[in-house]
């Protein structure tokens, strides 16, 4: 790399849960208070001071957050003058990855040596049917998809139906992903769903979008994360372990949910290309990765991404998951945090939790879910039906 | 071919908007004719109809009529839906590859499986049309 390397030096994350709503005594948790505390915690974790920070890139809060223009409100709340950008970014499920990338780029551009990638997603005060009236407008054409009642996860359900049709897979094989990720989440103190769960438990749930039942689609949650992005010389000067950006890749296929030119929808071309670019930039192969945090709102999505990134052969992702190859202790542990299904899915900050998990694992802080000798971690995020993907490869520096 | 019309005694749950440009599509659909635009320059059809060809970005496009026949690429049944669609639950939606080389998404009605031949039908609601796909029916004569 020609420029000075960039690192994630520290972070703090709120346990995912249902936090929005008014208590019996009329109080409520407010987004800016929650996030301000995480900023302080994250800087403490990084071993830096307030005066080191020169840029803040926020994920856009949900429309249910009353405080508008949240980024500049927070600049005031924290009384933080910045030479680098202070802004909010939005890109649906990719929102948090874009915030992280923008913060990294601020450091690379030399606008600051330390930037924060942070955000808060509060949404559970709004019931799911109402929330879907908004989210269906993001995951489809308002005039040519929404009128039929496509929901965000209905597209993933159609991926699942197609996968079963093409590769002779089964709902049971796909559902094993949910069981595996729950097993991971049991050992993650910030995961939303930590109760032990069997395959029978998953299969017994009511249907949501065929062939997926309640435990094969994401629950709703609130969350907040702050990550400290620093130039490597700053990271080194702290004497603390950190993670270095080793490679990254992005691709948007120029389609929204479906391509009007028929293609292989479940090849997840954007993930394949973004992954290949990241591996090339890092000078490594998929085999070299020790763990991967994949943005997968439904079981099928984790399968398809594991294939697109080259962790599993085409059509074998679900089968290999049932054989334990993607579990902690397996060949390539995927979603050691519990993933979107069990760690939780506060959508506009979800991927920040993915990077936080890589940070913890690559610093050896995974506790009972620690991947042994974890040196290289991968995060993959998306928007739409994986119409765009962003891949980051991080390496441990002790 | 002219699409079958199915009368429904209710309004559309989430009506599509119309522009001056897309109005002919909805007007034609009301009469059972499924149309879209095709580029005069590169000759490729597009869906939804667009005043700019998405492939070569020219604004020279013409309306064409599609047969309304294709193959079901995938489908699902929705059991938990947005508020406006709760009245329809459960309902099926799917992805259809039309014979003219266009992939579209629509409601699915009746029993039909991935890979099956399907045809489009018009759902004639009180306030306007939508379209859906159902199992293809062989016709003795064709008006197309
Ligand atoms: Zn053209």
User: What average pLDDT does the segment B94-103 reach?
Assistant: 98
3-state SS, residue A381: strand
pLDDT (tens digit, 9 = 90+) per residue, A106-131? 999 999 999 999 999 999 999 999 99
For chain B, the helix, strand and coil percentages under 3-state DSSP, each to the nearest 5: 10, 40, 50
The pair of structure tokens assigned to A11 is 């972070």
pLDDT (tens digit, 9 = 90+) per residue, A231-269? 999 999 999 999 999 999 999 999 999 999 999 999 999
User: What average pLDDT does the segment A345-361 reach?
Assistant: 98
User: What average pLDDT does the segment A96-105 reach?
Assistant: 98
The pair of structure tokens assigned to A381 is 């995020």
Place of tokens 């955000």: A119
CA-based torsion, A281, A286, A290, A295: positive or negative: positive
Residue in B135, B11, B10, B133 with CA at minimum distance from that of residue B66: B133
Residue A313 lies in a domain: no
pLDDT-derived band at A4 (thresholds 50, 70, 90) equals: confident
User: What average pLDDT does the segment B27-33 reach?
Assistant: 98
| A93: phi then psi, degrees, rounded to nearest 5 | -60, -25
User: What average pLDDT does the segment A175-201 reach?
Assistant: 98
pLDDT (tens digit, 9 = 90+) per residue, B101-127? 999 999 999 999 999 999 999 999 999
Q: How many helices (H) and strands (E) does chain A have?
A: 13, 11
Q: Is the pLDDT of residue A90 over 70?
A: yes
Q: What are residue A294's DSSP bridge partners?
A: A380
Spatial separation of the C-alpha atoms in residues B49 and A52, rounded to whole Å: 52
The B61-66 sheet, strands edge to edge = B45-46, B34-39, B61-66
Instruction: Tell me which residue range forms the domain holding A70.
Output: 6-126+220-238
Give the pLDDT confidence score for residue B143 in this predicted structure: 52
Q: How many helices (H) and strands (E) does chain B have?
A: 1, 9
User: Of all residues in chain A, what percent carry a pLDDT higher than 70?
Assistant: 99
pLDDT-derived band at A1 (thresholds 50, 70, 90) equals: very low
Spatial separation of the C-alpha atoms in residues A300 and A323, rounded to whole Å: 16
CB B65 within 8 A of CB B34: yes
**Count of CB atoms situated within 10 Å of the CB of A377:** 28
Q: Is the pLDDT of residue B9 over 80?
A: yes
User: What average pLDDT does the segment A6-13 reach?
Assistant: 98
CB A321 within 8 A of CB A176: yes
Domain ranges of chain B: 4-11+19-135
Residue A300 lies in a domain: no
Q: Is the pLDDT of residue B138 over 90?
A: no
| Interface residue A163 vs chain B (CB under 8 A) | no
CB A342 within 8 A of CB A193: yes
User: What average pLDDT does the segment A331-343 reach?
Assistant: 98
pLDDT-derived band at A3 (thresholds 50, 70, 90) equals: low
Domain count, chain A: 1
Residue A290 lies in a domain: no
What pTM does this model have? 0.97
- Interval between CA A301 and ligand 1 midpoint (Å): 33
ipTM (interface predicted TM): 0.96
User: What average pLDDT does the segment A160-180 reach?
Assistant: 97
Give the pLDDT confidence score for residue B141 in this predicted structure: 63
Angstrom CA distances, A258 to A115, A145, A158, A159, stand at 36, 10, 11, 11
The pair of structure tokens assigned to A193 is 């769903």
Residues of B near A (CB-CB distance < 8 A)?
12-17, 22, 46-48, 54, 73-86, 88, 90-91, 93-95, 97, 101-107, 114-115, 130, 132
Residue A96 lies in a domain: yes
Residue in A59, A74, A28 with CA at minimum distance from that of residue A347: A59
Residue A396 lies in a domain: no
Give the pLDDT confidence score for residue B1 in this predicted structure: 81
Q: Is the pLDDT of residue A19 over 80?
A: yes
Give the pLDDT confidence score for residue A292 in this predicted structure: 98
Spatial separation of the C-alpha atoms in residues A334 and A306, rounded to whole Å: 8
**Count of CB atoms situated within 10 Å of the CB of A241:** 15
Residue B21 makes CB contacts below 8 A (sequence gap 6+) with: B49, B50, B51
Residue A68 lies in a domain: yes
Please name the member of A148, A158, A210 whose beta carbon is closest to the beta carbon of B107: A148
Give the pLDDT confidence score for residue B36 in this predicted structure: 98
Give the pLDDT confidence score for residue A398 in this predicted structure: 86
Please name the member of B14, B74, B132 whose beta carbon is closest to the beta carbon of A162: B74
pLDDT averaged over chain B?
96
CATH code where residue A35 lies:
3.40.47.10
* Nearest chain A CA: its distance from B99 CA (Å): 11
Tell me which chain A residues have a C-beta less than 8 angstroms from the C-beta of B14.
146-147, 149
CB A393 within 8 A of CB A282: yes
CB B99 within 8 A of CB B144: no
Write out residues 177-206 of A within 8 Å (CB-CB) of B.
206
The pair of structure tokens assigned to A87 is 């802004």
B12: nearest CA partner in chain A: A147
pLDDT averaged over chain A?
97
Give the pLDDT confidence score for residue B31 in this predicted structure: 97
User: What average pLDDT does the segment A196-202 reach?
Assistant: 98
Spatial separation of the C-alpha atoms in residues B49 and B62, rounded to whole Å: 10
Residue A12 lies in a domain: yes
For chain A, the helix, strand and coil percentages under 3-state DSSP, each to the nearest 5: 40, 20, 40
Residue B71 makes CB contacts below 8 A (sequence gap 6+) with: B96, B97, B115, B116, B117, B118
Q: Is the pLDDT of residue B144 over 80?
A: no
Residue A169 lies in a domain: no
């Amino acid at each position: 790399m020609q420029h000075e390397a960039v690192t994630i030096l520290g972070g703090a994350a709120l346990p995912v849960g249902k936090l929005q709503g008014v208590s019996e005594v009329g109080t409520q948790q407010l987004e800016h208070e929650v996030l301000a505390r995480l900023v302080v915690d994250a800087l403490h974790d990084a071993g830096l001071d307030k005066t080191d920070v020169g840029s803040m890139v926020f994920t856009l809060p949900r429309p249910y957050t009353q405080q508008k223009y949240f980024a500049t409100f927070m600049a005031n709340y924290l009384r933080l003058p910045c030479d680098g950008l202070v802004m909010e970014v939005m890109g649906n499920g990719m929102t948090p990855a874009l915030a992280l990338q923008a913060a990294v780029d601020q450091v690379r551009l030399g606008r600051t040596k330390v930037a924060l990638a942070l955000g808060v997603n509060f949404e559970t005060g709004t019931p799911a049917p109402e929330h879907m009236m908004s989210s269906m407008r993001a995951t489809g054409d308002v005039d040519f998809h929404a009128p039929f009642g496509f929901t965000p996860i209905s597209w993933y359900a159609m991926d699942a139906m197609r996968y079963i049709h093409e590769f002779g897979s089964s709902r049971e094989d796909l559902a094993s992903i949910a069981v595996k990720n729950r097993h991971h989440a049991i050992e993650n103190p910030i995961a939303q769903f930590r109760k032990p769960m069997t395959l029978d438990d998953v299969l017994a749930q009511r249907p949501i979008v065929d062939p997926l039942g309640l435990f094969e689609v994401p629950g709703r949650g609130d969350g907040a994360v702050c990550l400290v992005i620093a130039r490597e010389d700053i990271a080194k000067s702290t004497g603390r372990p950190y993670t270095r950006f080793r490679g990254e890749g992005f691709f948007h296929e120029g389609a929204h949910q479906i391509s009007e030119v028929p293609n292989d929808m479940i090849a997840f071309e954007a993930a394949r290309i973004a992954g290949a670019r990241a591996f090339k930039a890092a000078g490594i192969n998929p085999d070299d990765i020790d763990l991967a945090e994949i943005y997968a709102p439904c079981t099928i999505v984790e399968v398809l991404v594991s294939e697109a990134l080259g962790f599993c052969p085409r059509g074998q992702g679900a089968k290999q998951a049932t054989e334990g190859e993607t579990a902690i202790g397996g060949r390539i542990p995927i979603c050691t945090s519990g993933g979107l299904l069990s760690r939780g899915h506060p959508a506009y900050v979800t991927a920040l939790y993915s990077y936080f998990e890589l940070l913890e694992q690559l610093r050896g802080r995974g506790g009972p879910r620690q991947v042994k000798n974890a040196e290289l971690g991968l995060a993959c995020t998306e928007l739409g039906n994986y119409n765009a993907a962003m891949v980051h490869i991080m390496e441990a520096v002790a | 071919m002219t699409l079958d019309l199915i009368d429904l005694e209710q309004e559309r749950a989430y009506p599509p908007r119309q522009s001056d440009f897309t109005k002919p599509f909805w007007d034609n659909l009301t009469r059972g004719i499924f149309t879209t635009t095709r580029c005069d320059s590169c000759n490729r059809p597009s869906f939804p109809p667009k005043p700019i060809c998405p492939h070569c970005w020219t604004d020279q496009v013409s309306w064409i009529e599609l047969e309304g026949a294709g193959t079901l690429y995938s489908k699902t049944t929705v059991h938990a839906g947005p508020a406006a669609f709760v009245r329809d639950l459960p309902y099926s939606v799917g992805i259809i590859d039309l014979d003219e080389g266009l992939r579209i998404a629509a409601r699915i009605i009746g029993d039909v499986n991935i890979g099956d031949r399907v045809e489009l039908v018009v759902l004639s609601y009180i306030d306007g049309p939508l379209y859906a796909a159902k199992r293809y029916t062989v016709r003795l004569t064709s008006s197309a």
